[in-house]
Amino acid sequence: MTTTPPLGRPACATDPAPFFGTTEQQRAAATLCATCPLVEPCLTAALDAEERFGVWGGLTPTERHRLTHDDGSWVDDAGTVRAACGTDIGHKQHKARGEQCATCQQAHDERTADGRRARLIVEHAAGGSFYGYQLHLRLGEDACGPCTAAQARLSQRGRDTRVARLAVAS
């Protein structure tokens, strides 16, 4: 366990191991920084260098990360930035690790649906389209009249093309 250093001397200079130890060790070590005369320049240097390991200026990697990132993400013991659960990026990180998270999956599904709705607005502004028809289906809703008509026109065009090819081949 880290002991309080002599007055005016940084605790990390006395015993640096806890400042780079486990999360629990780092939390305990961070409390020693309160009496350190170099706490402010230490924190400034760590933020400037984007230091991802250890306690610097009285803050753990996650605490420093949160100072500069307001997205709920955090830094794990390995120095990897992890996205907050309930986000689309969190979903991607879970997926990359082969994990499942219902909260992140829901966030991903909502973001995907929002993107589809935004694209559907563009398709409607153009008077409806086959792509708009597909977007309606992916959103689990009945297609509007203009998109249904566009889909029907495309299907008819495909049938006409097949009939024409058969006629030429005969």
Assess if residue 162 is contained within a domain. yes
Assess if residue 86 is contained within a domain. no
Q: Is the domain of 74 the same as that of 132? A: no
Percent of the chain with pLDDT over 70: 91
pLDDT band for position 141 (cuts 50, 70, 90)? very high
Assess if residue 25 is contained within a domain. yes
Which one-letter DSSP state was computed for residue 126? T
Residues present in the chain in total: 170
For residue 49, the enclosing domain spans 11-79
- What integer pLDDT is reported at residue 4 of this predicted model? 47
Q: Is the domain of 22 the same as that of 74? A: yes
Q: Is the domain of 16 the same as that of 74? A: yes
Assess if residue 23 is contained within a domain. yes
At 44-84, the pLDDT tens digits run 888 888 888 899 999 888 888 777 777 777 677 677 777 77
Assess if residue 6 is contained within a domain. no
Assess if residue 31 is contained within a domain. yes
Number of domains in the chain: 2
Assess if residue 117 is contained within a domain. yes
Q: Which residue has the tokens 């398709």?
A: 123
Element housing 81 (H / E): strand 81-82
Exposed/middle/buried for residue 78 (C-beta within 10 Å: 0-12, 13-18, 19+): exposed
Contact present, 72 and 81 (Cβ < 8 Å): no
Instruction: Put residue 82 in one of left, alpha, beta given phi > 0 → left and psi -120 to 50 → alpha.
Output: beta
- Domain end (from 61, 79, 97): 79
Whole-number Å distance between alpha carbons of 165 and 159: 10
- What integer pLDDT is reported at residue 8 of this predicted model? 59
Indicate yes or no: pTM above 0.85: no
pLDDT band for position 1 (cuts 50, 70, 90)? very low
Q: Is the domain of 75 the same as that of 115? A: no
- Domain end (from 28, 55, 79): 79
Contact present, 59 and 74 (Cβ < 8 Å): no
Assess if residue 94 is contained within a domain. no
